[in-house]
């Protein structure tokens, strides 16, 4: 079955450390996205990528970095510069068909300890 796999599901990080969240898709989608969800808020866009080796900042990119070396993979690094990293992180991909929206992964809960 096609889908998006995020790993790990739960992640703990010490303050001052960088950490990388994995996102892999086998849907053959060109576009991939990273969103962050905080309690009581909607999903906010961190970064997106339309094609391999290209990515763009979203609304809250500060303190994050991404790479897109392969079509299937779009890892997100949460750097020590991110002031409030504890959140639920969601990766998504989309096809060009407008009405279908995104396919989301199951998310990674990051907690800074």
Partner 1 sequence: DQQVKQNSPSLSVQEGRISILNCDYTNSMFDYFLWYKKYPAEGPTFLISISSIKDKNEDGRFTVFLNKSAKHLSLHIVPSQPGDSAVYFCAASARLSSGSARQLTFGSGTQLTVLP
- Specify which residues 104 forms β-bridges with: 92
Min separation Cβ 56 and partner 1, Å: 7
Interacting residue ranges for partner 1, rule: CB under 8 A? 4, 6, 9, 30-31, 33, 35, 40-45, 48-51, 56, 58, 88, 90, 92, 94-96, 98-107, 109
Of 26 and 56, the one with the shorter C-beta distance to partner 1 is 56
Q: Which of 17, 25, 9, 5 is nearest to 110 (CA)?
A: 9
41 forms beta bridges with: none
Nearer to partner 1, 15 or 54 (CB): 54
Give min distance, CB of 70 to partner 1, in A.
17
Distance of closest approach, residue 79 Cβ to partner 1, in angstroms = 23
Nearest to 74 by CA among 30, 106, 110: 30
| Comparison of 18 and 50: residue with beta carbon closer to partner 1 | 50
CB of 80 to partner 1, least distance (A): 26
Whose CA is closest to 73, among 27, 110, 18, 8?
27
Peptide bond into 89 cis (omega under 30): no
């Amino acid at each position: 079955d096609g889908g998006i796999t995020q790993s790990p599901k739960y992640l703990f990080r010490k303050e001052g450390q960088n950490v990388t969240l994995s996102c892999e898709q086998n849907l053959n989608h060109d576009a991939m996205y990273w969103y962050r969800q905080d309690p009581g808020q909607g999903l906010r866009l961190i970064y997106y990528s339309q094609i391999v080796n290209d990515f763009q900042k979203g609304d809250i990119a500060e303190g994050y970095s991404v790479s897109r070396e392969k079509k299937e993979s779009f890892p997100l690094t949460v750097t020590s510069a991110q002031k409030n990293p504890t959140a639920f992180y969601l990766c998504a991909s989309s096809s060009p068909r407008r009405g279908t929206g995104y396919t989301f992964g199951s998310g990674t809960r990051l907690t800074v300890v």
